[in-house]
């Protein structure tokens, strides 16, 4: 049975760092996908990170490509969440090319809308000292329901 060579036993393949222009073009071609970028350039993905670590221009190129990828993902999520409506000449929605996805809409509202209190959790802005007396509140609710019941008779 043949034995596999360890990575450390393999000869190190010399590589040449591409020009910034070629690096940016390759990032653009792969949509910012670093594994595919590394494959096209004939290097390991960790080499890309090394270039970015040691060269601010390469670091900025990686950041810009990742930002573009995120922007594209948010735009796609927006389309999925809101759908693509079919409108009549008056601008009224009469159908859907792509119907909205309520799960995606909820996700976007809870993540992108956190600053407007659309988050997943409820935050109470009162301390225990500022809070209400629960027992008194329950008693009050019971009294109101009993009064409403008596008035309805």
pLDDT digits (tens, 9 = 90+) for 20-64: 999 999 999 998 999 999 999 999 999 999 999 999 999 999 999
SS3 per residue for 62-126: HHHHHHHHHHHHHHHHHHHHHCEEEECCCCCEEEEEECCCHHHHHHHHHHHCHHHCCCCCCCCCC
Say yes or no to pLDDT of 137 above 80: no
pLDDT at 11: 47
**Strand 84-87 vs strand 93-98: parallel, antiparallel, or unpaired?**
antiparallel
pLDDT digits (tens, 9 = 90+) for 98-132: 888 888 888 888 887 777 776 665 555 555 566 66
Residue scoring higher pLDDT (96 or 115) = 96
Q: Among candidates 11, 9, 43, 14, which has minimal Cα distance to 26?
A: 43
Residues paired with residue 73 on neighbouring β-strands, in sequence order:
none
Cβ-Cβ contacts under 8 Å for 20 (sequence gap 6 or more): 57, 58, 61
């Amino acid at each position: 049975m043949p034995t596999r060579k360890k990575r450390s036993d393999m000869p190190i393949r010399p590589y040449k760092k591409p020009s910034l222009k070629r690096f940016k073009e390759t990032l653009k071609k792969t949509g910012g996908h670093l594994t595919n970028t590394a494959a096209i350039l004939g290097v390991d993905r960790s080499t890309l990170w090394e270039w970015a670590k040691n060269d601010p221009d390469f670091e900025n190129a990686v950041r810009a490509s990742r930002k573009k990828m995120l922007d594209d993902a948010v735009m796609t999520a927006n389309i999925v969440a809101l759908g693509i409506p079919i409108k009549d000449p008056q601008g009224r929605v009469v159908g859907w090319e792509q119907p909205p996805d309520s799960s995606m809409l909820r996700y976007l509202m809870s993540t992108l809308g956190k600053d407007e209190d659309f988050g997943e959790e409820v935050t109470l802005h009162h301390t225990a000292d500022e809070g209400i007396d629960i027992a008194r509140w329950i008693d009050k609710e019971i009294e109101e329901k009993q009064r409403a019941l008596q008035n309805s008779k």
